[in-house]
Structure 1
């Protein structure tokens, strides 16, 4: 039972390294390493909740990549995950009041 729990933790860290580029730590002290791991865990939890709420069958790595690519775009990531086709209609939302819309 202990081995099974330890293996689950190893799989969690493997998933973190693969999807969030946690190959090296930015700080050298214990607090900096803890902060980086906690931030990665929070993002992983957020993406898992988003993936399950969207009801998508896409792999976790695909979800992480889509969110990373479209993080600053005005696409609705939730709709992007729910879509099953490769072609996505670009639904541009109006920016919040006081924020400029940058168009390319």
Structure 2
């Protein structure tokens, strides 16, 4: 039996390949959406930390070195998240003190 493989035997492999391709493309779409949402929140976090006017001045000053813009925005976002975590911790500790 050295003849060609029947088409019915090849179909499950093709279906698995199609399923794998669909899963990969769905994962890529989800990752793109998360990245887009994260980049939007980085801008909001940076603007809420320093104010929109200061952010405008900061972005204007970065025209000389645009390659550091993502680093500056990420640093501002990290400071914003850290500050937010500290405020939550402070509120939790102060509410525990009040309940005693």
Report the TM-score range of the alignment, normalised by the length of the smaller protein: 0.3 to 0.5
Higher radius of gyration, 1 or 2: 2
- TM-score using structure 1 length: 0.39
